[in-house]
Amino acid sequence: MRIAVTGGTGFVGRHLARALVGAGHQVVLLARGVDCRDELVRALPGARFAAAGVSDEKALAEAFAGCAAVAHCAGINRETGEQTYERVHVQGTRNVVNAARTSGVGNVALMSFLRARPACGSGYHESKWAAEEIVRGCGLDYTVLKAGMTYGRGDHMLDHLSHALHTLPVFASVGFREAPVRPLAVEDLVRVLVAALVEERLSRRTVAVLGPEELTLSEAVRRVARALGRGVLVLPAPLWTHRLLAVGFEATMTVPLVARAQVRMLQEGMTEPAPPCEELPEDLRPRLTFTVEQVRKGLPPPGPFGVRDLRLSGRRSSEDR
């Protein structure tokens, strides 16, 4: 089977591509060419790279030709220049759906966010919801996956926490009363995506995908510190502190330590979908817990933040999920 993956060089896209190729499928990786953290994914046997962003419907249709399914994984967690939530999440999803119809693709799986919903005051959440509605109303076979905090090799969470703890072993809690999270291993998420794309097991369903263990972000940070063999001092901090820091990080870092949309996510917690949606079948439910051993599998090479992480370095940031 040939499957197209938008955001194919991004975090989820890379892991999905490797799983599909490993199972004997052909993959078309679509991305703007911004994320160069893992060039090896473009050289996977059975994979073809197409330099196409979700804003180019014609290029998408050409890349989708001969594909049986599309995994729509492209997305942004902050707005920069022309890369707005409306343009990437809403119009981009509309372009993906139109291109799929033009090319005869029968199945679209959308990577959305657990708390995506309308009229909530967050451009990120609202645009992800709009993308869900486009896919649900597209007339094609579809699956919408509402995932929470996802971690693994090459993610932003473990990558940034690791570098932060090597730079300064201090963590500020997100609010004086932390909302819980359920960390999701990317391996478990990919397993659900493969079931939707290849086995068509989740046809015309919107499902929540959450890790099996509930904990606070501070508890998760302590486990990352243990995996690194380092100590960490956790200090309570009000939400406004994180909002201000997010503005600064977005302005100065190629990939912000935390973005404003992520502060909103952590403020709400990530344990329940909003609005409620279907649960996964028992055999597809995530089972990998956020253990020290599991964390170690996803850690980047050790080291602190440096000049290369700053926007002034000229290094381009990734806009793919």
Residue percentage of the chain with pLDDT more than 90: 84
Residue 267's H or E segment, with its range, is helix 260-268
Tokens of 193: 């995506």
Domain ranges of the chain: 2-150+183-209, 157-179+213-270+287-313
Paired strand residues for 175: none
Burial of 115 (0-12, 13-18, 19+ CB in 10 A): buried
- Supply the DSSP string of 212-251, one letter for each residue: S--EEHHHHHHHHHHHHT---EEE---HHHHHHHHHHHHH
* Nearest CA-CA partner of 95 in 226, 1, 4: 4
pLDDT at 33: 67
Tokens of 85: 């939530």
pLDDT at 257: 86
- Supply the DSSP string of 177-192, one letter for each residue: SPPEE--EEHHHHHHH
pLDDT at 311: 76
CA distance 227 to 151: 14
- What mean pLDDT is predicted for residues 69-81? 94
CA distance 22 to 122: 38
pLDDT at 308: 83
N-term to C-term CA, the chain: 23
- What mean pLDDT is predicted for residues 172-186? 94
pLDDT at 231: 94
Residue percentage of the chain with pLDDT more than 70: 95
CATH superfamily of 2-150+183-209: NAD(P)-binding Rossmann-like Domain (3.40.50.720)
Burial of 137 (0-12, 13-18, 19+ CB in 10 A): exposed
User: Confidence class of residue 139 from pLDDT cuts 50, 70 and 90?
Assistant: very high
- What mean pLDDT is predicted for residues 111-137? 97
Highest mean pLDDT among 81-85, 126-130, 261-265: 126-130
CA distance 26 to 22: 10
Average pLDDT, whole number, for the chain?
93
What tens digit of pLDDT does each residue of 146-156 get? 999 999 999 98
For residues 290 and 211, the answer to whether their CB atoms sit within 8 Å is: yes
pLDDT at 319: 45
292 pLDDT above the threshold of 50: yes
- What mean pLDDT is predicted for residues 55-72? 97
Q: What are the residue ranges of helices labelled H in 140-182? A: 157-167
pLDDT at 37: 67
The number of helix segments (H) and strand segments (E) in the chain equals 11, 13
CA distance 79 to 82: 8
What tens digit of pLDDT does each residue of 232-269 get? 999 999 999 999 999 999 999 888 888 999 999 999 99
Instruction: State which amino acid sits at residue 62.
Output: E
Tell me if the pTM is above 0.75.
yes
User: Confidence class of residue 11 from pLDDT cuts 50, 70 and 90?
Assistant: very high
- What mean pLDDT is predicted for residues 3-22? 96
What tens digit of pLDDT does each residue of 28-54 get? 999 986 666 667 888 899 999 999 999
134 pLDDT above the threshold of 50: yes
